[in-house]
Amino acid sequence: MKADKKLNSDLILKGNMLQAILSLAIPVVINSFLQTMYNLTDTFWLGKIGTNELAAINLVTPVQNIIINFGMGITVAGSVLIAQYIGAKETENAKSMANQIFVCAGCFALFCSAVVFFTTSGIVNWLGADGETYRHACIYLRIVVWDMPFLYMVNIFSAVHQAQGDTVRPMFLNLGGITLNMILDPLLMVGFQMGTAGAALATLLAKMVPAMVAFVLLSNRNNDVHLDVRSMKFEWEKVKLILRIGLPTAVGGSTMQLGFLLMSRNVYAYGNQAMAAYGIGNKVNGLITLPSNGIGSAVATIVGQNMGAKQVERAREGYLLSMKICVVFLFIGGMILSRDVISTGIVSIFSDDAEVIAMAADFLSIMAFWCFTNGVYNATTGLFQGTGHTEVTMAVDATRLWVFRFLTLWFCESILKMEVRSVWYSVVVSNGISSVILYILYKTNIWKKYKIKVGTDKE
């Protein structure tokens, strides 16, 4: 295992850049696909049960995502910091940082799970749900929220290994989880007729098993970077560093998800069918953007290690090549998915409701046509994360939703009277504007400024 990670690090710092990008990105893409399958499996079986159940999950999913994205700030910071320490050959600091990430993320996950569990009724009521949708949403959220500690454990495992250039083991770990989820979903939801409770319980159990495996593997003392009980007390200097790098990502991500929550509330105003269509379109579109997300993660690792090794121009080379790959892939894939016959055929898998199918296909076609802008967005986000400039991505994430998306939504609804299509266009317009802003910020070269002091064994 040590030899594999040494080989990966050498490839990132000295080897062929295209090979480095693909060797990191391909397992991440597969891993992201497996994560997406958790939700798609639920969506498929709930679509077979009824529109109320499907709308309920789509309504409350952003609540869970707010917490996940806030906690992701901790794991993103960990991945960046560990990568830069490894690039600077500071193994002890990398190991210590992994333990700090584990303690911080674990405490945060347990606290948030408890808070959401006890406030579920108020949250769902605030979202505007009533009747059967309210009941199903409460049942689902109260169960699924307890997967947070297990999800964070898997994310920590991925962050530690990705920082070392190993994206294959996290992929196999999630493969086990999704396989279990695909078995449990129909068994609990249909076989035992548990409906939304079965969907939530299947997701919880399918994340619990990989989390336990992740903990055992991370505790292996044969690895240079491993969990050690003696290192799990808070080291406040490292905690401050985690907060300095991770808090902007946490605030940006959770603020963005809060915006998604309000978007869901706006969509729900058009009815259960619109809510179901919105969820289906988002999740299917997420599949085509997975390669872009994976390459963005690869950029963060490549840039992080090369910046730690003081190889600024090689970091730039990795970013530019990654962005070109993303844009070309998404443009071709988007042109295919945006064809009406293809988008309609795909969304029909997840619903038998003709109105839901029509709205979801329309949403998917519009998003797919413009999804190439995500290539610029994800690659450039990876660049700023890899250099520790997470305040840049926080600002852009926040304005993408709270300014550009809601402004476009208001204009299309109030001025153009486009009704539910206002939501569809607000998504693509805000994504496009944010991508342009990020690329302009890249051209200013602010990413070259070092934010993390590495190069010695002392911070």
Instruction: Read off the pLDDT of residues 265-303 as tens digits, 9 standing for 90 and up.
Output: 778 778 888 888 888 888 787 777 888 888 888 898 899
Q: Using 50, 70 and 90 to split pLDDT, how confident is the model at 241?
A: confident
Helices 390-399 and 236-268: angle between axes, nearest 10 degrees: 10
C-alpha–C-alpha distance, residues 396 and 389, integer Å: 12
More confident residue, 168 or 261: 168
Which residue, among 185, 160, 140, has the nearest Cα to 74 in the 3D structure?
A: 160
The CA distance from 436 to 396, in Å, is: 10
Whether 132 shows a pLDDT value over 70: the answer reads: yes
Annotate 380-413 with b (16+ C-beta within 10 A) or e (fewer).
bbbbbbbbbbbbbbbebbbbbbbebbbebbeebb
pLDDT of residue 454: 57
Q: Mean pLDDT across the chain, nearest whole number?
A: 84
Q: Are 170 and 27 in contact (CB under 8 A)?
A: yes
Which pLDDT band, with edges at 50, 70 and 90, does 42 fall under?
low
Distance CA 400, CA 435 (A): 9
CA dihedral 245, 36, 133, 418 (to 10 degrees): 80
H/E/C letters for each residue in 141-184?
HHHHHHHHHHHHHHHHHHHHHHHCCCCHHHHHHHHHHHHHHHHH
In DSSP notation, 82-128 reads HHHHHHTT-HHHHHHHHHHHHHHHHHHHHHHHHHHHHHHHHHHHHTT
Span 61-105, pLDDT tens digits? 778 777 777 777 777 777 778 887 887 778 888 888 888 888 888
- Work out the pLDDT band at 118, boundaries 50, 70, 90: very high
284 neighbors 364 (Cβ within 8 angstroms): yes
Over 50: is that where the pLDDT of 400 sits? yes
Q: Give the pLDDT confidence of 347-374 residue by residue, as tens digits.
A: 888 888 888 899 999 999 999 999 999 9
Q: Write the DSSP string, 222-272.
A: TSSS---GGG-S--HHHHHHHHHHHHHHHHHHHHHHHHHHHHHHHHHTT-H
Task: Give the pTM.
Answer: 0.69
> With contact defined as beta carbons under 8 Å apart, do 241 and 388 qualify?
no
Residue 112 has pLDDT above 80, yes or no: yes
Is 336 buried (19+), middle (13-18) or exposed (0-12) by CB count in 10 A?
A: exposed
What kind and span of H or E run contains 20? helix 17-49
User: What average pLDDT does range 375-379 have in this prediction?
Assistant: 94
pLDDT at 315: 92
What gap in Å lies between CA 71 and CA 405, rounded to an integer?
24
Q: Is the pLDDT of residue 321 over 90?
A: yes
Closest of 196, 200, 188 to residue 132, by C-alpha:
196
Q: Which of 378, 340, 48 is nearest to 189 (CA)?
A: 48
What per-residue confidence (pLDDT) applies to 457?
Answer: 42
What is the model's pLDDT at position 459? 39
Residue 436 has pLDDT above 90, yes or no: yes
